[in-house]
Chains A and B, each alone.
Chain A
Amino acid sequence: MTALPSKKLEAWRYTDLAPLAAISFGAPPAAVAQQLPALDLPRLVFLNGVLSQNLSSSLAFAQPFVPGAETSAQPLAQINAEQARDGVTLTIPDGVDAGTILVISHASAGEPFAFHLRHRITLGQGASLTIIDIAKGDGVYWHNPVTDISLAAGAQLRHYRLQDESREAYNLSTIRAHIEAGAAYEHFTATIGAKLSRTEIHAALVGEQATAHLNAAQLLTDEQHGDFTTVVAHKAPNCPSRQTVRSVLAGLSRGVFQGRIEVDRIAQKTDGYQMSRALLLSPYAEMDIKPELQIYADDVKCSHGATIGTLDDAQLFYLRSRGIPEAEARSLLIRAFLDEALEPVQHADARVLFDAAIDNWWRVQ
């Protein structure tokens, strides 16, 4: 197997995979029945990394998994290419609105095991699709999915992810999106689970007026580590990109946001925006933020900003003076803090899912 990236690589400076490297992961065990989310949507269900025909809907646009040969400079994508045995393959024809599809991965480990799903999502011209991706499980496992996305001109993909893995698990997700003229990729990840996780997105805007919104909320506690890393490549003129990241960090947790915006020489009138805010609920929590702008065009608007703070005492007192108990007041303020990252998620089922996950996160604190 290709070696895991080491901390010596700049891209992995804040996320140390040594604990993962120390575990010997076997092959996935046979799946057992699981309690799955009760959303009434067409679905594809993976148990321990294998598509469950019984639990999955029959979808018009789904195709069987075919292994692909590729070499990637990214170690995790390379490992995935070598190891992938299953995954979603969806091809939506031109002009078709394929509605919403739920993709669920559930892992249940006795002994540690690894699985490497490879998803391919292709939208034809003017096609649209919403994917709600939920990852859950229990025990020690390593989930290393790669999602390849290709959006033809004018296509729209809304990609909502709830990473709610076992607190002993590792989730290293790579997403590569190719976005053509006038197409829109809207992404939101809620990182709540896993001992150590990273979502790494490479979005290439290759035609005029292509857009990418890469938003995230990370809610971490205890010794959890969550990393949201994005690379937005502006390869055509007149493309807007936005990243809004909110991290709420309790206990000894550590959050990372690395955001790189690359603007090619031809990508004039680029409008790039990136904002990361972190709320530290404990004096031991840590947030590392690394914005990078790499600009070769001369007529662009790119901004980035980062803040790290604590809950505001004046706001807390104001709420409590109105009779709202302290725990509820804190929860209201945390929910308000996340609002800007969640706001673009206008899909009703997705909103209900994320709101419930956030409420539940708060309750168990």
Chain B
Amino acid sequence: MLEIKNLHARIGEKEILKGVSLTVPTGEIHAIMGPNGAGKSTLSYVLSGRDGYEVTEGEVFYNGQDILALAPEDRAAAGIFLAFQYPVELPGVGNANFLRTAVNAVRRKRGEAELDAVAFLKLARAAVKRLHMKEDFLKRNVNVGFSGGEKKRNEMLQMALLQPGLAILDETDSGLDIDALKIVAEGVNALRSPNFSALVITHYQRLLDHIVPDVVHVLSAGRIIRSGTAALALELEAHGYAGLEAA
């Protein structure tokens, strides 16, 4: 379960999050929608521990553990996965080596035995096949020369291998690329279980056609201003954020 309590965060002197509170119970998928500049990306980075964002007030608990003091790698080991809106290219780093390093780092922290190269490749090849990816995916440098859709698939491959308890999907402005949305949706839906939660951050309702959320929150000017069922997303699509803020 993810609990965000009165979270305030700023970049430099600029306050972006002004008291965000929400709870994602285990097994549920929640969506955060909001206009540009509402703080959606900031929220995903603060939750995953990126440098440069200062939390000035509030708390975040994941499965009862205060995560704000944890390094990004420790949050990952605790089961939090951030799917990047724009996955980063790593020239010179092979995808298989990267994935195995990540999986073994997380396994080590979770007290599990590391996988040797053979065991890892077996696991990775099976995941690659499940996600309808070409096998040369594992041989290429991480995200280098990948198309937009391939980068998204690679994010989903990482998610499948790291088996997080909570996925944060930053899809703030990628709503225009339908193929990419479908890939992300397939990845999330494949992991759906009573032990898996997701926080889907998006500007457009369209993603939610493919990942049906249990709850939709509306983030505006650094605060959650409305929460409701999936129907709320349709209302936003019809009337826009301006109408909602006036209500």
List A residues at the B interface (Cβ < 8 Å).
313-315, 317-326, 328-329, 332-333, 335-340
Contact = CB atoms under 8 A, between A and B. Distances in A.
A325 B105 contact: yes
Interface string B130-147: 000000000000000000
Q: Which of A322, A325, A332, A336 has the most CB of B within 10 A?
A: A322
Nearest to A336: B92
Q: Which of B92, B103, B158, B162 has the most CB of A within 10 A?
A: B92
A226 B106 CA distance: 38
A336 B90 contact: yes
B76 A323 contact: yes
Given A313-B51, A328-B105, A323 B73 contact: yes
Nearest to B110: A323
**B contact patch SS:** helix
**A contact patch SS:** helix
Contacts of B87: 318
B246 to A, nearest CB: 38
A332 B76 contact: no
Interface string B70-107: 01110111000110100110111100011001110110
A317 B106 contact: no
B226 interface: no
B90 A322 contact: no
A336 B91 contact: yes
A223 B205 CA distance: 57
A292 B87 CA distance: 38
A317 B92 contact: no
B48 interface: yes
28 contacts: A313-B51, A314-B88, A315-B90, A317-B51, A318-B88, A319-B98, A320-B49, A320-B71, A320-B73, A321-B48, A321-B49, A321-B72, A321-B73, A321-B75, A321-B81, A322-B76, A322-B105, A323-B76, A323-B77, A323-B109, A324-B101, A324-B105, A325-B105, A332-B90, A333-B93, A336-B92, A338-B92, A340-B92
Contacts of A335: 92-93
A340 B92 CA distance: 8
A162 B103 CA distance: 33
B50 interface: yes
Given A322-B162, A335-B92, A336-B92, A317 B72 contact: yes
